A and B are shown apart, each in its own frame.
Chain A
């Protein structure tokens, strides 16, 4: 992407004395190991922060640079709550991605942190709010992706977002009262629930007065082996006029029950945020905790984490490619890909002791080493899978009845993908390509060649093809990783002397970027755990890309996005 004009023209902004991103320039890789490896900072990649800083200070907004070592490589600024809206406005002008929002109850005040990103660089902007009746200008008018995260924060912390166009509750159904805020410290994890939680019958969906328009409610219990959620269609005949999602059914209070856990306990819980993404979520949480304590992971441990993450990506892509084909009545592909997936999972079980790789990523490294024999075997399997994929792809491509259903279905435009901040293959299939492994590689991806995979059509076929290409890219990564699995420790002992600290982790999971923030208290116990699954930004894309499609194509469109309900609902 071309830098916008004023980003390059340095002349139009007065030179600010204070250039906070310079802090990056002095950040050096730890010598003894490269646990915290982020590619060396490139001035050009973070120039947008300087522009954003100038744009804001020009408007008379006070910003305090608040470098926080444990949050590196993210830059941290502080500003006043009343300027919060201007931040979003200027960030939108800078073409930033809005990547997350979390609050933290510090007792006497609430602290809000918004995360922005561009060119693989992260900016965390913080502001403090009073505990009583906290109000904050909304970011949603500038970044539509902020809509649900703000409503999530409103339901769980009681913050009013001024200027937010949708005041309806989101994550709260009927399990707690409107004036209760479960993530406030005063609210006990056990809550005060009724013996029987009533169904959420009165959620104000968008209705229609037109008699020709059908309203079709679907869920939360769906007609398949799938997670629960509710979809409300407005349809004329077969054509979908509008789709409204209602999620939150599998809200299990993960952010709350994380509190008080030790590092190992948090890694276990993070590994169950979304069962299909257990490696990446656990990695993000461990990365945040390791950064908080400046704790090093040995190189072999780090490379094994990437082996696990790429294996997870491959397993999920295999399963979903088959399932997408099955949704349009092409069971041949379904049986072939589910066969490949099963073989892949059995290898996981043989080498790592768990088919889905749960509890393999632990604070300080990984739980299971790979012996030499298994390493060789994995190399062989990588080759075998590659050959199978080579054989199957032309069959898929040449099947007209399959392509007829996939091509042109569920088109997500680049503009929409960008506005919502869609992640992973959903964004990449629409030409909106964010891949942390390439943009700002964290260890061990900094030493690997990663093939860029992207399409522009934005339809179901493009999402399937991006995932097919990612299979090859991941196989390539596995080959490189296996060649680099030099002998060594796989785990470093977790520090026994705890202290209060906070850390920030970002990992490219198979669905896309996962963002995680952890604050540990003086005893080294979790005081705040925030995690943001990529599904948060991909679910709204489904509501957009379904327009004009027919109701029977909804399962196909849904599967091609495959948002995580559990990862979204927390």
Chain B
């Protein structure tokens, strides 16, 4: 136990004063997000992520939003296990035809008002996979999309930026 505490103390708080990542922007971004979430969502914005056919690259970077550096929860944004609890759906991947129904069902299960954010180049426009016998292409070909955050995959900072832009636009 003492070694755990020692390790925690020696690592200290890594949560961004944005080190190598592009900017000192993160804190500013986070502050703005926090204010929006407080005002519009009463302090808590719930996100449900749906992989509709991604290569898993976007998921890895969405995971990173929860690591100690970005720690997106401190801004009031958290990931939930059910679409029933969500304000926002984050959709990744070109929508594979085998996931088309599941994505629609997830969308329908999310209570209104809701936003859909297409994460990554594939969800934005089909990316490398496009439209084919097996792929519906962009997420907007299947469900209404409110915002797009392109990138292959988008960096965690880009995702926070994109979320903020979505909130500002509304």
Which residues of chain A have a CB within 8 Å of any CB of chain B? 173-176, 182, 187-193, 196-200, 220-221, 223-228, 248-254, 256-257, 268-269, 272-276, 278, 319, 332, 335-336, 338-339, 341-342, 345-347, 349-350, 355-356, 358, 391-392, 394-395, 398, 564-566, 569
Contacts and interface: CB of A to CB of B under 8 A. Distances in A.
Interface string B39-50: 000000000011
Contacts of A175: 96-98, 133-134
A175 B56 CA distance: 22
Interface string B118-136: 0000000001111111111
Interface stretch (B27-35, B61-69, B161-169): B61-69
B11 A339 contact: yes
Contact of B132 (A191, A392, A569): A191
B81 A224 contact: yes
Nearest to B155: A355
A338 B55 contact: no
B54 A391 contact: no
B150 interface: no
A192 B153 CA distance: 30
B77 interface: no
Most buried by B among A221, A257, A358: A221
B134 A335 contact: no
B96 A252 contact: yes
Contact of B53 (A188, A189, A225, A252): A252
Given A250-B51, A342-B64, A269 B133 contact: no
Interface in B64-121: 64, 66-69, 79, 81-83, 93-94, 96-102, 105-106
A332 B56 CA distance: 25
A79 B49 CA distance: 49
Interface of B: 3-4, 7-8, 11, 14, 19-21, 49-64, 66-69, 79, 81-83, 93-94, 96-102, 105-106, 127-136, 152-153, 155
B68 to A, nearest CB: 5
B98 A173 contact: yes
Contact of A332 (B4, B20, B133): B4
B54 A275 contact: yes
Contacts of A358: 57, 152
B134 A191 contact: yes
27 contacts: A174-B98, A175-B97, A175-B98, A182-B133, A189-B132, A190-B131, A190-B133, A191-B133, A197-B98, A221-B83, A225-B79, A227-B56, A249-B53, A249-B99, A251-B98, A251-B134, A253-B134, A254-B129, A272-B128, A274-B55, A275-B153, A278-B55, A332-B4, A332-B7, A335-B67, A338-B66, A349-B20
Contacts of A220: 99, 102
Nearest to A278: B57
A358 B14 CA distance: 26
Contacts of A564: 56
Contacts of A395: 3-4, 7
A391 B56 contact: no
Given A220-B99, A225-B62, A190 B20 contact: no
A227 B51 contact: yes
Given A220-B102, A335-B68, A566 B55 contact: yes
B99 to A, nearest CB: 5
Nearest to B129: A252
B60 A276 contact: yes
Query: What are the 10 tightest A-B residue pairs by CB atom distance, in nearest-first order?
Result: A191-B133, A275-B57, A253-B134, A223-B81, A175-B97, A275-B55, A338-B67, A199-B101, A197-B97, A275-B56
